[in-house]
Amino acid sequence: MISPGHPQGLSHFMVVLITMITIIMLENKARATLLQFLLIVIISMAPTRAIDTIRRS
């Protein structure tokens, strides 16, 4: 889960927030393209977050 108290959590939170605002403002075709890109970003961020969690343990 995203923790806004942690600097890295805050940056992830801001990325998600800005992306969601952008998605709301775009039309359907652009929205679909952005959602596909967002999935790639989320999938690529997961290993980074997992490694960071392991390092903190």
**Residue 40 resides in a domain:** yes
| Residue 26 belongs to a domain | yes
Note if the pTM is more than 0.85. Answer: no
Count of structural domains within the chain: 1
- Around 55, how many Cα atoms within 13 Å sit in the side-chain half-sphere? 6
Residue 1 belongs to a domain: no
Contacts for 36-39: CB closer than 8 Å, 24+ residues apart: none
CB 9 within 8 A of CB 2: yes
Domain range for 32 is 7-56
pLDDT tens profile 2-56:
455 555 667 778 888 887 777 777 777 777 777 777 777 777 777 777 777 777 7
